[in-house]
């Protein structure tokens, strides 16, 4: 017979026995153990605490064992449960997309501060799960939001999340701006791939399970950002804003890319860990350099 308390103890010991290189798994073992058992039992954490002696069926125990063993290998909890919280939303997640991260909420917060108007046009490039676009729609129901992704499976996932959250946005398959009809957006946001091709962190816990196309962008990690910034002016209103998330060591390089491509008031914002995380700029056509 297996109890809630016994399952949690086994899981924590199993995750704590991970290789030394997987130290993050040891630190997160108590939380991961509870989260996975909540998923298997379809109960919340408060129920687990209230009923430590409750019996767990053999079938659910086996399911729990499989999930914990996969987590021990470094697979993200969100892939194991198929869900991830972002902003105030609970989103479906799959291995076709990146797992939405708390750092990306800075992109949402900043975009919301740019306009108090009830009705503006916003474009989210590389939407993944739809996290950023749907979070914006949840806070500004009147905003007209278009979201894109190059991968068909990801587009379908974002559409399911739109339906799940009952937040209607326009989602299309597009390689950045390729299938975007001529339009002038007030704001463009993007969390593009920005990791260098040979970055050793690609083998870290969680990351190695995520799709490379959503992580890696050339030798210096800036290929996608260069393309987005270079073309954004064709889709922005004059005085429209472009907001891009990037790596914590890329701020200076990204600001230079903005400055060379017609953007003024360029600034980089820091995340909760005080790392440079997001660069924004205001489109001024007359400032664009001809190269």
Residue-wise pLDDT tens digits, 22-34: 677 888 899 999 9
Q: Distance between CA 289 and CA 139 in Å, rounded? A: 36
- Percent of the chain with pLDDT strictly greater than 90: 79
As beta bridge partners, residue 185 has 236
Say what the pLDDT of residue 197 is: 86
Say what the pLDDT of residue 263 is: 96
Q: What pLDDT band is residue 210 in, cutting at 50, 70 and 90?
A: confident
Say what the pLDDT of residue 101 is: 93
Domain 2-74: give its CATH code: 1.10.8.10
Domains 2-74 and 83-288 are alike in CATH topology: no
Q: Residue 284: is its pLDDT beyond 90?
A: no
Q: Residue 291: is its pLDDT beyond 50?
A: no
Contact 224, 194 (CB under 8 A): yes
Contact 101, 165 (CB under 8 A): no
Question: Given strand 261-270, what is the order of strands in its sheet?
Answer: 170-173, 144-149, 121-125, 185-190, 236-245, 276-288, 261-270
Q: Distance between CA 19 and CA 266 in Å, rounded? A: 43
0.95 cut: is pTM over it? no
Which residue from 231, 227, 220 is spatially nearest to 288, judged by alpha carbons? 231
Q: Give the pairing of strands 2-3 and 55-56.
A: antiparallel
Q: Distance between CA 97 and CA 250 in Å, rounded? A: 23
CA angle 212, 249, 103 (to 5 degrees): 65
CA angle 204, 205, 209 (to 5 degrees): 90
For residue 197, give every residue at least 6 positions away whose Cβ sits within 8 Å of its Cβ, in sequence order, or none: 216, 218, 219, 221
Say what the pLDDT of residue 16 is: 87
**How many other C-beta atoms can be found within 10 angstroms of the C-beta atom of residue 179?**
11
Q: What pLDDT band is residue 290 in, cutting at 50, 70 and 90?
A: very low
Arch. (CATH architecture) of 83-288: 3-Layer(aba) Sandwich (3.40)
Q: What pLDDT band is residue 145 in, cutting at 50, 70 and 90?
A: very high
Say what the pLDDT of residue 287 is: 64
Domain ranges of the chain: 2-74, 83-288
3-state helix, strand, coil in the chain (%, to 5): 45, 25, 35
């Amino acid at each position: 017979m297996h109890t809630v308390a016994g399952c949690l103890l086994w899981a924590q010991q199993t995750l704590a026995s991970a290789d030394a290189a997987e130290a993050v798994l040891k630190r997160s073992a108590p939380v991961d153990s509870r989260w996975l058992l909540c998923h298997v039992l379809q109960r919340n954490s408060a129920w687990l605490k209230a009923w430590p002696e409750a019996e767990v069926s053999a079938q659910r125990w086996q399911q729990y064992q499989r999930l914990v063993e996969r987590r021990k290998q470094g697979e993200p909890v969100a892939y194991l449960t198929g869900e991830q919280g972002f902003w105030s939303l609970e989103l479906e997640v799959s291995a076709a997309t990146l797992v939405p991260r708390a750092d990306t909420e800075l992109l949402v917060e900043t975009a919301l501060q740019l306009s108090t108007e009830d009705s503006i046009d916003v474009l989210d490039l590389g939407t993944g799960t739809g996290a950023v676009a749907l979070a914006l729609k949840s806070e500004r129901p009147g905003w007209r939001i278009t979201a894109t992704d190059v991968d068909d499976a990801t587009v379908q996932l974002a559409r399911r999340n739109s339906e799940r959250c009952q937040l209607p946005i326009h989602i299309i398959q597009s390689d950045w701006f390729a299938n975007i009809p001529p339009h002038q957006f007030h704001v463009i946001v993007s969390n593009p791939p920005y990791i260098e091709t040979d970055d050793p962190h690609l083998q870290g816990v969680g990351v190695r399970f995520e799709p490379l196309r959503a992580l890696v962008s050339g030798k210096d990690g800036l290929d996608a950002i260069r393309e987005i910034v270079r073309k954004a002016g064709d889709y922005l209103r004059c005085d429209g804003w472009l907001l891009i998330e990037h790596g914590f060591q890329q701020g200076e390089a990204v600001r230079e890319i903005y400055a060379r491509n017609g953007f003024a008031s360029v600034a980089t914002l820091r995340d909760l860990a005080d790392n440079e995380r997001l660069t924004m700029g205001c489109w001024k056509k007359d400032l664009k350099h001809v190269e």
